[in-house]
Homo-oligomer: A and B are copies of this chain.
Amino acid sequence: MSDKVDEKKSVDINFTHFKLKRILNSNSGSKIVSLLGYLTDLSDEKEAVVILEKKAFTESDLTSKEGFFSSSTSFRKEFTNDIYGNFECYPRPEINSVKTTVIYPATQKHIDKYSKQEVHIVQETPDLYVGTTLRHIEKEQFSLEWLYNILDHKKESERIVFEDTCKETGFILLPDLKWDGQTAETLYCLALVQKRGIKSLRDLNESHLPLLRNILNKGIQAIEDKYAVGRSQLRIYLHYQPSFYHLHVHFTYLKHDAPGIFCEKSHLLNAVIDNIELMSDYYQRATLSFVLRENDKLWDEFKREHEFRKSIKHE
């Protein structure tokens, strides 16, 4: 069957022709589902990714005359017991829409991106860091041009919230790209250190304590000054593994469930400073856990290493 559309133009979609091939991922917490299938009126071969997302409640949903508590909504009782009751509520469709995103035609990359992936938690000993992770970082040579552009004021200088220009203990604070830069409830800033060559947590020792304390104190002050969010309302942390290998610190609003704040990924800056104060080479001696996705290249390296060790053990 040939395609009926010119792919250079954007496509009008008739969803009644969507034929589900498989559910790629479903998140019952955030009420989002990603689907793979065919828009059979357009093609029987090209695949479409469709993402459905239930929407958050808005104030007007709850207060308007035509909202959830109007006569256009019906309710069905599930049970009542003493002061507690459970009901199913059926609002009219207009106030209960579902956000729908379509990618058509979808490539394998799109399919991977929206698919549930197997993840593995690994324990990185100091040996594994040097022999596997560090080698991986050096081999991949991730580009940091975009970041040096920020440090050199070549890009994004209008976004800088605060800057300390000291080459040893200084940093640039700016809103994370995921943040709108305004809503305090979802505050997310990043501190990028001026000093180059500190790849991650693993490189830190007592020589970095002035840098870390400076980020903690001046970062808090800058956020308080600019956004009126106080110290006890901030989660201040480093990721391990980080998404790029130039030392940076995350500042998020404590009540905001920002991505990547789980205990297997995030290390509070206060704890990092305290650990180094207790033991200056703590981060060269500690075994650190983190999560790898099956399509991370580093996972292949860890798996190979693990199988190699097992093979030695059983020899």
Binding site for B on A (CB under 8 A): 7, 10-13, 15-16, 18, 20, 23, 26-31, 33, 35, 52, 54-57, 59, 62-63, 68-71, 73-75, 77, 80-94, 96-106, 116, 119-123, 232-235, 237, 254-255, 257, 261-268, 270-271, 274-275, 278-279, 282, 285-289, 291
Whether A31 touches B33, Cβ cut-off 8 Å, given contacts A89-B97, A93-B74, A98-B89, is no
Name 18 interchain pairs, CB-CB below 8 A, sorted by A.
Answer: A10-B81, A10-B82, A15-B69, A15-B89, A18-B69, A20-B62, A28-B56, A30-B31, A33-B57, A52-B68, A54-B57, A74-B93, A83-B104, A84-B102, A88-B98, A90-B94, A237-B263, A275-B286
In the complex, which residues of chain B have a beta carbon less than 8 angstroms from the beta carbon of A28?
A: 56
Q: How many monomers of this protein are in the complex? A: 2
Q: Interface majority SS on A: helix, strand, loop or mixed?
A: mixed
A262 cross-chain contacts in B, Cβ below 8 A:
235, 257, 261-263, 266
A123 CA to B268 CA, complexed, in Å: 11
Contact assessment for B16 and A255 in the assembled complex, using a CB-CB cutoff below 8 Å = no
Contacts of A29 in B (CB 8 A): 29-30, 56, 257
| CB nearest neighbor in B for A75 | B15
- Which of B90, B100, B121 contacts A88 (CB under 8 A)? B100
